[in-house]
Amino acid sequence: MEKSYVLFLILLVFQESIFSLYATSTNETDIETFLSGSFLVDEIKGVMNLEVIDLSYNRIIGEIPSRLCQFSKLRTLVLSDNNLTGQIPRNLGCLSRLESFYITQNAISGTIPLSLSNISTLQFLGCVNNHISGTIPQELGNLPNLKMLGFDFNNLTGVIPESIFNISSLEYIAFSDNDLSGRIPTTLGLKLPNLKGIFLPDNQLEGQIPMYITNASNLIELELSYNLFTGIVPSDLGNLRQLEFLNLGEYGSEGIVSTSGDVYSYGIMLIEILTRRRPTNEFFNENMNLRQWVSESFPSSLKTVVDENILFGENEIFIVSMMELALECTKERQEERVNMKDIVNRLGKTKEDLFL
């Protein structure tokens, strides 16, 4: 085996089986089967040049090994959709070239390690749907190249540090369904020229929605529902020409919320429920968003996008009907979206058909 054709050899020990994985000049390898058992990495000759580890969508258990530091050239580490437990390694900051780190959909606990703030190259940090607790380190604001910060569906407490809202490279901020409190900095929007989406629903945030949020001219999605916000909705929200998704939900204010925004929000919510994916999932990027992914599969290949835990069979007509409604709610042009009255009527009709 010539060195010019092989970039790395890594032994992954899963209980009683040993898998030898090889990659060619593409720097990546695809594993067709499901891997299970504990994740152990043995240090061997030639492994130091490894740049990508992607073991997502498997059945790996145990903890993330701290010995990952041996991969000094690692750029991408994806361990999402497994059964990993334990904490994020405290020494993960040793991966000084890391650009993408995803551990979404596991059972990771503990706190966010401070060492992450040492990885100046980090662009994508996705830790959605775990059991991570504690506060958000203000040191994360020292990441100059961070584009996506996602900790939805965890147990984080305390305030969102102001330093987070000073990362000019940020495009997506997502802390949905935690127990965060305090106020959003009044300067939100002034230092985030690239911001496209901010997702903070289901927390305990209070105060007013910052008026300067309208300075984030590239904002596409704004989700702040189910918090404790008060006061007036910024009147200049209508100046956000790129805004497609607006959900203030249970926002207790004197402001008026666009019903077309609520329709879009409802449609996205339906898609999230049926696919079990969020718009901030690492699967999506600037070339493919959640709605596009579903739309391209509807209706002929719908089974490929619907959550595998949702049984088709007798439910297929209902699922198709709900997904069709979701797509009509989320059309790009507001005037083409279905209205609230029609939504209620169609839901009622679907319910009647389902229980006939």
3-state helix, strand, coil in the chain (%, to 5): 30, 20, 50
pLDDT at res. 107: 96
Average pLDDT, the chain: 80
pLDDT at res. 354: 61
pLDDT at res. 178: 96
CATH class of 3-278: alpha beta
Which residues have CB under 8 Å from 139's CB, separation 6+? 114, 117, 163
**Which residues are bridge partners to 204 per DSSP?**
181
Q: What is the pLDDT of residues 208-266, one digit of tens each?
A: 888 888 889 899 889 998 898 887 777 677 678 888 777 877 544 444 444 555 677 77
List where CATH 3.80.10.10 sits in the chain.
3-278
pLDDT at res. 129: 94
- Burial (CB < 10 A; 0-12, 13-18, 19+), residue 281, is buried
Q: What is the pLDDT of residues 76-89, one digit of tens each?
A: 999 999 999 999 99
Residue 4 has pLDDT above 80, yes or no: no
* Closest to 241 (Cα-Cα) out of 212, 264, 208, 214: 214
Q: What span, in angstroms and rounded, lies between the C-alpha atoms of 70 and 316?
A: 49
Residue 33 has pLDDT above 80, yes or no: no
Task: Kindly state the tokens that stand for 192.
Answer: 């985030």
**pTM for the predicted model, two decimal places:** 0.67
pLDDT at res. 235: 66
For the residues 156-160, what does the mean pLDDT come to?
A: 97
pLDDT at res. 147: 97
Q: What is the pLDDT of residues 295-334, one digit of tens each?
A: 888 888 888 888 877 755 666 777 888 888 888 888 877 7
pLDDT at res. 252: 44
